[in-house]
Chains A and B, each alone.
Chain A
Amino acid sequence: MSTHNLEDMGCGTSSVKDTRSEQVLKAALVIQNWYRGYSTRLKARQRYALTIFQSIEYADEQGQLQLSNFFSFMLENYAHIHEKDPEIVARLFGSTLQDYKDRQDYVAFVDVPNSYNGPRLQFPLTFTDIDLLVDAFKQQQILHARYVLEVLFETKKVLKQMPNFTHVKTSPSKEITICGDLHGKLDDLLLIFYKNGLPSGSNSYIFNGDFVDRGRNSIEILMILFVSFLVYPNDLHLNRGNHEDFMMNLRYGFTKEILCKYKIHGKQILQILEDVYTWLPIGTIIDNEILVIHGGISESTDLNLLHRVERHKMKSVLMPPTPLDGDPDTNVKKKKFNATIVPGEVKTSASHSEQLTKHEWEQVIDILWSDPRGKRGCYPNTSRGGGCYFGPDITSKVLNRYQLKMLIRSHECKPEGYEICHDGKVITIFSASNYYEEGSNRGAYIKLSSGMAPRFFQYQVTRTTCLRPLYQRVNAIESSAIRILRERIIARKTDLIHAFQLQDRSKSGKLSMSQWAFSMENTLGLNLPWRSLSSRLVTTDTNGDINYMSSFQDIHIQKPVKELPHWAEREPMGRKTGAIVCRGDEKVRAERREAQSTLIETLYRYRSDLQIIFNVIDSDHSGLISVEEFRSMWKLFNSHYNIHIDDFQIDELAERMDLNKDGSIDFNEFLKAFHVVHKLDKLNKSGSGLA
């Protein structure tokens, strides 16, 4: 029965035939059919938006790995730049400086003023302190640095006594609750506690890593979790995630949060936190049957080895162990390290006792970074750049090897908050709802006890008590996703135009859908449904061809006005003599404009990486680095990342950035000024705005 025929609607000559009830039936069908189509298209758009968020997120993580390679590269060349700064070298090598080891006496000097009306913790901690914190954080109070430091020191002490894997037993009367990534979203943690009760001797929890970064309340979450752990060390279990790592925090927001909330003591907090992370256990095993770890496994996962490794030597998952004595290939490099480090002042991890072996390190990386996939076998995890993809056969193999029945992991955002795969053997649990954007996904937690099937509880934090209609939520997510995608596009403008022009031989400014999609995917390295997204990114003409330059129309990178040389304003030589303006001048100006745009794009594209590198160099967190440091850093960066920016441009840039000519650059200020301007934002501000 066709529902689209006008006559069937009772509008044609057959109207006499249809009774009223038949008409109503048909009308209802039309509306239902239309609505269902509309509603599923909304959901499809939501899914597309999530795909965009996810692929960009993973591409970023890959960038993070490239950064770590850069650090290794930098170390080999760094020595002769910085003989005078062993602290930097030590920091990058990852060893803890001896004099920071037991800084607990420092805490005694941190006073809590009478005027402070935030929560006051009492040591030894009890359950009232948990309540106190939860209430205080609900009212958006900030815990005083003194308490933060005390909690961190205590936590480190207790964690040190924990084994790499905590073995837990459940019973029908004692279930355990497992939560996944929280990523600084305090509302989700509070919602879980509201629905499921606070942790206690009779209410056990496992938090499976990634407590911090991205959300705005990472420190508050850590404090609640650590205090709960100190009060109930046998009932609150914490597993390390890939974001419990100072390098990740530099990029993904936690470092910034701390320095912002704790302006005086932030640096100390960060330093002790680095240590605390390394003492977090690797995983939990429930009833000798269920393995709970943050990421996943690989073909070679060796649980026995993982039980034995000295886990605290894993400083940052992104700083692989440097080559050791036994390695013949690297002896030459090693000599270089030793030659430039002042002996006696600093212990470097070039010595065997301070770092894991490469094999051990890889084992831990696999646990923290791997993702399950449907494809059989074990492959390098190319999206993230670390860990691997493991198939259902790998899961079976490894679980059987250790007589385990199930793997519970987190690490990946799922629209429903959880997902079961590999024939029921692998469960992903993710507890940060609205992770990418309001409405993007639900959060969930698992309750289980031996002998019973796991039960899943889902939730979604909403800002308003009344949920907005679906189309508004989808519009919001979609706009957000398209927005960040367009920022990626503008950051690669020069490369993209180059790719387009290669295919557009007739210089018509147009490409077929196929050619455009191919160029986009290849240049950006993002596996997205470009054809379906095209309507949001470019304009098409009446023939269905893409006007490829239209992606760049409503968006540009705002440059910090004073800081950059205005190439375009310089007159090429020919003009001054009054000679006829020859084509060469145009070409030079065009080239200079292109050079300028490449520089801007590059600075914009790598701004996160640059920020991290400079934050690492700026070890005293003063926000300033010397012009000399900037220059040498950039030159290294340039050569490692294969960027083609002339040295003289960098020198000029460095000089411009040194605003008061005192030899130092406020780099963060400079980078902050680089942001993408969406032209349409100005229009929307005057409109009603749904978002």
Chain B
Amino acid sequence: MADDKEREGPDITVAEFHKKIKDAFEVFDHEANNTVDVREIGTIIRSLGCCPSEGELHDLIAEVEEEEPTGYIRFEKFLPVMTEILLERRYRPIPEDILLRAFEVLDPSKRGFLLKEELIKYMTEEGEPFSQEEMEEMLSAAIDPESNSVHYKDYIAMMVIDES
């Protein structure tokens, strides 16, 4: 069966994507009625390996919501949009080296670390700011309590291992 792969066309890929999306959706479909809370959409999309920014996520939600938002997203609306995203390989995860470069931009004197206050300042004041909960969560894993700083190279390496 496995050698038939050559003959598999795009139809098979779409079918596989559909099943994968359905599986992920079902995990969050608590009432088993093919809807999920709109607040879980971001989690579902990201659990399928995509990394939209908050802004991009906001747009996606607008695409899959009902004309009159109910607070719930239906599977029938979600499936085609998500399939497209997977087929087009949109919102690919950030490569490790880009992430490292980002930290280096915030550490122009090349110390190899960021102080806790600096990280807090950047994350809560720039870009798409973190909520307090997000900030605390990140700090709990990133900060080395002795030096009160994050050695970003080690931090990135640790996170990457955790994900693989």
Contact assessment for A29 and B94 in the assembled complex, using a CB-CB cutoff below 8 Å: no
- Number of residues of chain B lying within 8 A (CB) of chain A: 54
Contact assessment for A529 and B122 in the assembled complex, using a CB-CB cutoff below 8 Å: no
Interface stretch (choices A3-11, A583-591, A649-657): A3-11
> Which residues of A466-489 have CB atoms within 8 Å of chain B's CB atoms?
467-472, 475
Contact assessment for A38 and B123 in the assembled complex, using a CB-CB cutoff below 8 Å: no
Contact assessment for A375 and B140 in the assembled complex, using a CB-CB cutoff below 8 Å: no
A interface footprint on B27-60 (CB within 8 Å = 1, 0 otherwise): 1101111010000001110110011111000000
Q: Point out the residues of chain B lying under 8 angstroms from A11, CB to CB.
A: 101
Q: Point out the residues of chain A lying under 8 angstroms from B99, CB to CB.
A: 30-31, 34
Contact assessment for A37 and B32 in the assembled complex, using a CB-CB cutoff below 8 Å: no
Output the least CB separation between B61 and chain A (Å): 14
A9 in contact with B2 given A37-B51, A44-B43, A513-B16 (CB within 8 Å): no
> Which residues of A27-41 have CB atoms within 8 Å of chain B's CB atoms?
27-41
Q: Point out the residues of chain B lying under 8 angstroms from A468, CB to CB.
A: 140
A44 vs B122: C-alpha distance when bound (angstroms): 27
A36 vs B27: C-alpha distance when bound (angstroms): 20
**B24 contacts A by Cβ under 8 Å:** yes
Output the least CB separation between A11 and chain B (Å): 6
Contact assessment for A27 and B2 in the assembled complex, using a CB-CB cutoff below 8 Å: no
Contact assessment for A469 and B1 in the assembled complex, using a CB-CB cutoff below 8 Å: no
Q: Point out the residues of chain B lying under 8 angstroms from A34, CB to CB.
A: 51, 93-94, 99
**B77 contacts A by Cβ under 8 Å:** no
Contact assessment for B94 and A41 in the assembled complex, using a CB-CB cutoff below 8 Å: no
Output the least CB separation between B74 and chain A (Å): 12
Contact assessment for A29 and B53 in the assembled complex, using a CB-CB cutoff below 8 Å: yes
The residue that A545 contacts in the complex, of B5, B26, B51, with Cβ under 8 A, is: B5
Most buried by B among A419, A469, A475: A469
Output the least CB separation between B19 and chain A (Å): 6
A470 in contact with B127 given A9-B105, A514-B16, A529-B24 (CB within 8 Å): no
Q: Point out the residues of chain B lying under 8 angstroms from A543, CB to CB.
A: 2, 5
- Number of residues of chain A lying within 8 A (CB) of chain B: 64
**B11 contacts A by Cβ under 8 Å:** no
Output the least CB separation between A37 and chain B (Å): 4
Output the least CB separation between B110 and chain A (Å): 14
Contact assessment for A532 and B24 in the assembled complex, using a CB-CB cutoff below 8 Å: yes
Interface stretch (choices A143-151, A342-350, A354-362, A498-506): A498-506
Q: Point out the residues of chain A lying under 8 angstroms from B20, CB to CB.
A: 531-532
Contact assessment for B33 and A373 in the assembled complex, using a CB-CB cutoff below 8 Å: yes
Q: Point out the residues of chain A lying under 8 angstroms from B44, CB to CB.
A: 44
Output the least CB separation between A418 and chain B (Å): 12
Contact assessment for A38 and B163 in the assembled complex, using a CB-CB cutoff below 8 Å: yes
Interface stretch (choices B63-71, B78-86, B130-138): B130-138
A33 in contact with B130 given A375-B32, A508-B3, A511-B1 (CB within 8 Å): no
A530 vs B31: C-alpha distance when bound (angstroms): 20
The residue that A531 contacts in the complex, of B19, B35, B94, with Cβ under 8 A, is: B19
A32 in contact with B2 given A40-B42, A375-B33, A529-B24 (CB within 8 Å): no
A4 in contact with B47 given A9-B98, A9-B101, A39-B134 (CB within 8 Å): no
A595 vs B24: C-alpha distance when bound (angstroms): 38
Most buried by B among A28, A467, A532: A28
**A597 contacts B by Cβ under 8 Å:** no
Output the least CB separation between B5 and chain A (Å): 6
A interface footprint on B12-29 (CB within 8 Å = 1, 0 otherwise): 000110011001101110
**A458 contacts B by Cβ under 8 Å:** no
**B103 contacts A by Cβ under 8 Å:** yes
**A574 contacts B by Cβ under 8 Å:** no
Output the least CB separation between B96 and chain A (Å): 10
**B126 contacts A by Cβ under 8 Å:** yes
A510 vs B22: C-alpha distance when bound (angstroms): 24
A32 in contact with B32 given A27-B102, A467-B140, A505-B1 (CB within 8 Å): no
Output the least CB separation between B134 and chain A (Å): 7
Contact assessment for B51 and A27 in the assembled complex, using a CB-CB cutoff below 8 Å: no
**B128 contacts A by Cβ under 8 Å:** yes
**B87 contacts A by Cβ under 8 Å:** no
**A679 contacts B by Cβ under 8 Å:** no
**A643 contacts B by Cβ under 8 Å:** no
Contact assessment for A30 and B102 in the assembled complex, using a CB-CB cutoff below 8 Å: yes
Output the least CB separation between B46 and chain A (Å): 4
A544 vs B23: C-alpha distance when bound (angstroms): 18
B interface footprint on A349-389 (CB within 8 Å = 1, 0 otherwise): 00000000000000000000000111100000000000000
Contact assessment for A41 and B47 in the assembled complex, using a CB-CB cutoff below 8 Å: yes
Q: Point out the residues of chain B lying under 8 angstroms from A41, CB to CB.
A: 46-47, 163
Q: List 21 A-B contacts (CB under 8 A).
A: A3-B53, A6-B98, A11-B101, A27-B122, A28-B106, A32-B127, A34-B94, A35-B134, A37-B50, A40-B43, A40-B47, A44-B44, A374-B35, A375-B32, A419-B30, A470-B141, A504-B1, A506-B1, A512-B5, A513-B16, A514-B19
17 extra interchain contacts, Cβ-Cβ under 8 A, other than A470-B140, A508-B1? A9-B101, A26-B127, A27-B102, A28-B122, A30-B94, A31-B102, A33-B51, A33-B128, A34-B94, A35-B134, A44-B43, A375-B33, A468-B140, A504-B1, A527-B26, A531-B23, A543-B2
Question: Which residues from chain A sit less than 8 Å from chain B, CB to CB?
Answer: 3-4, 6, 9-11, 23-41, 43-45, 47-48, 51, 372-375, 419, 421, 467-472, 475, 503-506, 508, 510-515, 517, 527, 529-532, 543-545
